[in-house]
Amino acid sequence: MENKISLYIHIPFCKSKCYYCDFASYANKEESMEDYVLALVNEMRNYGELFKNNKIATVFIGGGTPTILPLKLLKKVLKNIFVNFNIENNAEITIEANPGTLNHDNLSLLKEFGVNRLSIGLQAYQNNLLKKIGRIHTVEEFIKNFLLARKLGFNNINIDLMFALPNQTLKDWIVTLKEITKLNPEHISCYSLTIEENTPFGLLEKEGKLKKADEEIDRKMYHYAQKYLSTKEYIQYEISNFSKLEFESKHNLTYWTYKPYIGIGLGAHSFLEGKRYHNTYNLSKYIKSNGEINKLKEDIEVLSPKMQYAEYIFLGLRLLKGIDVTEFYNQFKISFDELFKEKVHKLINLGLLEKNKENIRLTHKGIDLSNIVFSEFLPE
């Protein structure tokens, strides 16, 4: 395995669940936080021992809402990352934060422990929309805490935004983008609302009580973001992600460029040496396992070469620069053209892919129909 790997750490606690969320997270579980962190630290220790010869290039602490942890526990998590792993000097260290949970104390602690990238979930710039999707914060809290983070020296901040929300108008979306770009964050992620089955929104949709945005408004909002953000010096480098020059998310690039990563915490996924697996999604089982890796692992899948080729392609095609066929050969020691020449030719004729020398990437039309493109590469 290559020497550099990435690290994902999951904190599954929230003040309350957003109506669209199907992540492994829980509200009102304060009594479990301490036991969870103890198990998490043990899991870190065990992985740290296994990977003591590897450098950690990026760290991402996600959730849930990691910044909901009491300071003492947050400190324990941060400290143990550095105690147990060989973190590169210039590693990108990101933490996800809900604007309603940030304050001077936890931001200062994050700064002290080397967190150098914040990913703040705002979603919309209208308080009425935030309420409708179950967010716990207001726009005013977001602005206050964004400015506080700047004051404390955070100079790499991502803002998560969502479009195609129930009752959201194109005008709402335009205002959101305009106001956010005034704050000049280094990175903006724009996600279309996906309604998952076992969420409050999924149940409402089933009962016919939730009107989903139609495909046309969804695409209008997405295309508007593409055009508008490019006028504000944001480069679209991935289907949903836009950044200022050299501020791409290095951690997420790990996933899209098919590099290895360790997932630690409840339900966290790992990808190592052609194997995928995830930790248990059961909170009490996670805590009882006390960080023992083999007790936590579930759904271990050894990917066939064909599946690895497919994953490499559809993850790589999410990037606007696409995939390089020479890099594909270096990774798998097999010719890309030998495997996929006909499929690529077909997709080029449909106007979904374009090829420039060694590079294959999605066209504008291909971005909108990316799932059709990706499915072409799945093993038959």
Instruction: Report yes or no: 112 and 87 within 8 Å, Cβ to Cβ.
Output: no
User: Which sign does the torsion angle of CA 180, 17, 191, 187 carry?
Assistant: positive
- Walk me through the domains of the chain, giving residue ranges and CATH numbers: 4-256 (3.20.20.70), 305-376 (1.10.10.920)
Instruction: Write out the DSSP string of 56-96.
Output: EEEEEEEES-GGGS-HHHHHHHHHHHHHHSEEEEEEEEEEE
> Side chain identity at 240, as an amino acid letter?
S
Q: What tens-digit pLDDT sequence spans the chain (380 residues)?
A: 468 999 999 999 977 655 555 666 677 778 999 999 999 999 999 999 999 999 999 999 998 899 999 999 999 999 999 999 999 999 999 999 999 899 999 999 999 999 999 999 999 999 989 888 777 889 999 999 999 999 999 999 999 999 999 889 999 999 999 999 999 999 999 998 876 667 556 555 566 666 777 889 999 999 999 999 999 999 999 999 999 999 999 999 999 999 999 999 999 999 998 899 999 999 999 999 999 999 999 999 999 999 999 999 999 999 999 999 999 999 999 999 999 999 999 999 999 999 998 999 999 999 999 999 999 999 87
Length of the chain: 380
Count of C-beta atoms within a 10 Å radius of residue 157: 20
Q: Which two tokens stand for residue 116?
A: 């150098």
pTM: 0.94
pLDDT confidence of residue 136: 81
pLDDT (tens digit per residue) in 16-75:
655 555 666 677 778 999 999 999 999 999 999 999 999 999 999 998 899 999 999 999
Q: What distance in Å separates the CA atoms of residue 317 and residue 314, rounded to the nearest whole number?
A: 5
Give CA angle at 150 (148, 151), nearest 5°.
Answer: 65
Q: What distance in Å separates the CA atoms of residue 196 and residue 219, rounded to the nearest whole number?
A: 19
Task: Look at the block and give the residue holding tokens 């020479």.
Answer: 326
